[in-house]
Amino acid sequence: MKNIIHTQNAPAAIGPYSQAVEANGMLFISGQVAISPETGKVVTGGITEQTEQVMKNIDAILKEAGYGFRDVIKSTCLLSDMGNFAAMNAVYGKYYPENPPARAAFAVKELPLGVLVEIETIAVK
């Protein structure tokens, strides 16, 4: 059985999907972009500010479901430009100071709303 996770502390889905779905002790968080849940708009700034907002959104969803960054086992990072990889990685790494999850990072042609980064996450209890 699956449990749909939703929190007001992360942006609402901008399509027919859930913020996250939990099933059998696993949490699958949909790709998060740099939308502020307070304003519903993409945060201003560059890759550093956008990555920080993405990680805050992931944190809010993890907490709503009773998980934390320590439970994350896999992330997929999508970047609009691999030139932003180092700056994204610097912010991302602050959230995983020890035992970071497995991860893939890809450059894609474009991302929703013209954002610079999107990150999806899988966590396990």
pLDDT at 1: 87
- Tens digits of residue pLDDT in 44-71: 999 999 999 999 999 999 999 999 999 9
Closest CA to 55 of 94, 100, 4: 94
Task: Write out pLDDT tens, residues 90-114.
Answer: 999 999 999 999 999 999 999 999 9
Domain that includes residue 46, residue range = 2-124
Report the CATH number at residue 22.
3.30.1330.40
pTM of the predicted model over 0.95: yes
Cα 50 to Cα 35: distance, rounded to the nearest angstrom: 8
Residue 22 reports pLDDT greater than 90: yes
**What integer pLDDT is reported at residue 71 of this predicted model?**
98
- DSSP per residue, the chain: -EEEE--TTSPPPSSSS-SEEEETTEEEEEEE-SB-TTTSSBPSSSHHHHHHHHHHHHHHHHHHTT--GGGEEEEEEEES-GGGHHHHHHHHHHT-SSSPPEEEEEE-S--GGG-SEEEEEEEE-
Predicted local distance difference test score (pLDDT) of residue 26: 98
Q: Domain tally for the chain?
A: 1
